[in-house]
Structure 1
Amino acid sequence: MGRNEYQEEEAARPKKKKKKSHKVYAFMVLVMGIAIIALAVLILFYVQKIEVEGNEYCKDKEIINTVQNDRFSINSLYILGKYALGRGGQLPCLDSMKVSMKTPWIVKVKVKEKPIVGYIYAGNEYAYFDKEGMIVYKGADFIEGLPCIEGIETGDISLYGTIESKDKSIFEEMLVTSQQVKKYKIAPDKIVCKDDRIYLYKGTIRISLGNSVSSEQIAQIPPILEKLEGKEGTLHLENYSEGNTTITFNAEEIQEEN
């Protein structure tokens, strides 16, 4: 090997090392850049507040705990992704739940609760149920404008459980009654089952509906109640149907029974 060739080989070696060091430096910069971005995401999208909107009887805390039901739910991006993929939790008392980002650190949750159609007084608590008979809320708080269900023997009444009754058929009719009175905005004081017959109580008026309740029967009540204001007695709608439109009112019946 000649002197000139040896010198050329020696001159080439530092260049390879220099090129290799540039690659290492570029890799380190890339890693640091990714780490900075990741840290920024963690800090910027760290959930500081969750705002709940649309709920009346379902507590904010219950909804928030459902949204943040795992250790990664401290990040707003993670929460949004979880619900976008349909993997987010939802309480049984809710019809729908929409999760969005108000700011990177504030998550907004808009909910729609299942409508309550009535309640059962159980011990020292009120058990409120939806049209399917599911207990959507249970507590000492009294919600006005809802009928109390009486006269039906029920089993265990637990939150998010469905009310079960030995008198299944008549209880289903009472559920239908609860839905219909809500639809026509009647707001009776209570719905009572007595001798397998269903009665509504509204002030001093008792309304007899029989053992099978229809929308047509309930639709007659509001205009008649206006005419009966100040009176006391029983309004008989048990025989009312499309083929039989007879409606009677007995002003003495309640007084005789009491």
Structure 2
Amino acid sequence: MGKNEYQEEEAARPRKKKKKSHKVYALMVLAMGIAIIVLAVLILFYVQKIEVEGNEYCKDREIIDTVQNDRFSINTLYILGKYALGRGEQLPCLDDMKVGMKAPWIVKVTVKEKPIVGYIHGGNEYAYFDKEGMIVYKGPDFIEGLPCIEGIDTGDISLYGMIESKDKSIFEEMLVTSQQVKKYKLSPDKIVCQDDKIYLYKGKIRISLGNSVSSEQIAQIPPIMEKLEGKEGTLHLENYSEGNTTITFNAEEIQEEN
């Protein structure tokens, strides 16, 4: 090897070392940059508050616990991504739930609850159910303007469970009755099943609907009740239909159920 060749080889070695050191430095800077970004995201998007709106009977805490149901749900972006991908949970008592970001550290949850059509009272608790017969809320709170269901054996009642009755057909008719009175904005005190027949009670008026309830029957009640204000008796609608429009009222013919 000549002298000149040796000198050229020696001159090339520092350059290779410099290139390697530049690459290492660049990788360190990149890693630090990524770490800073990740740390900033973790700190900035750390959930400090979850706001809930649209709920009346479902508790805020229950909705919040559902949104933050895993250990990663302390990050706003993670929660948004979870629900955007359809992997977020929703309570059975809700028809709809939308999750958004009010601020990087605040999650906003807007819900639409399933409408309550009636309740069953047992002991110190009220069990409220939807049109399908599912218990959507159970607790000591009394909600006004809803009919109480009486006269059927429902067995054990659990939250988010379906009400079950030995006589399914008559119970289904009572569910239909609950839906229809809500539709026509009636507020009966209670819906009673007696001898496989359904009765509505409003003040001192008992409304006999028979064992099969139709929308046409319920639609007749509001205008008639206006005329019966202050009276006592039984309004007979059990035979009312499109082919038979006979409606009778018997004064003082009422039997309160205990």
Same fold (TM over 0.5): yes
Map of 1:130 onto structure 2: 130
User: Distance in 2 between the 1:23 and 1:119 partners?
Assistant: 72
Shift of 1:252: 2.0
Counterpart Cα distance in 1 of 2:80 and 2:92: 20
The alpha-carbon deviation at position 257 of structure 1 amounts to 9.6
State how 1:45-56 maps to structure 2 within 5 Å: 45-56=45-56
State the distance in 2 between where 1:13 and 1:53 align: 69
Q: 1:255 to 1:176 in 2, by over 3 A?
A: closer
Q: For structure 1, list consecutive stretches of 5 or more residues without a partner in the other structure.
A: none
User: 2:201 corresponds to which residue?
Assistant: 201
Per-residue CA distance 1:22-43 (angstroms, 9 max, x = gap): 0000000000000000000000
Structure 1 residue 217, shift from structure 2 partner: 0.1
Task: Check 1:78–1:189 CA distance in 2 against 1; reply closer, same or farther (3 A cut).
Answer: same
CA distance in 1, matches of 2:254, 2:107: 55
Cα RMSD of the aligned pairs, angstroms, is 1.3
Q: By how many angstroms is 1:167 displaced?
A: 1.3
The DSSP-based 3-state class of the residue aligned with 2:256 is: helix
The separation in 2 between residues aligned to 1:229 and 1:75, in whole angstroms, is: 59
Q: What residue ranges of structure 2 are gaps of 5+ in the alignment?
A: none
What's the TM-score once normalised by structure 2's chain length? 0.98
More deviation in 7-16 or 176-185?
A: 7-16
CA distance in 2, matches of 1:46, 1:256: 59
How many residues are treated as equivalent by the alignment? 258
Runs of 4+ in 1 over 6 A off after TM superposition: 255-258
Q: Secondary structure at the match of 1:182?
A: helix
CA–CA separation in structure 1 for the residues paired with 2:224 and 2:57? 32
Shift of 1:254: 1.5
Deviation string, structure 1 residues 61-108 (Cα, Å, up to 9, x no partner)? 000000000000000000000001110011110011000000110000
| C-alpha distance 14-104 of structure 1, shift in aligned 2 (>3 A) | same
Distance 1:176 1:92 in 2: 21
Shift in CA distance, 172/31, structure 1 to aligned 2, threshold 3 Å: same
Give the TM-score of the pair, scaled to structure 1: 0.98
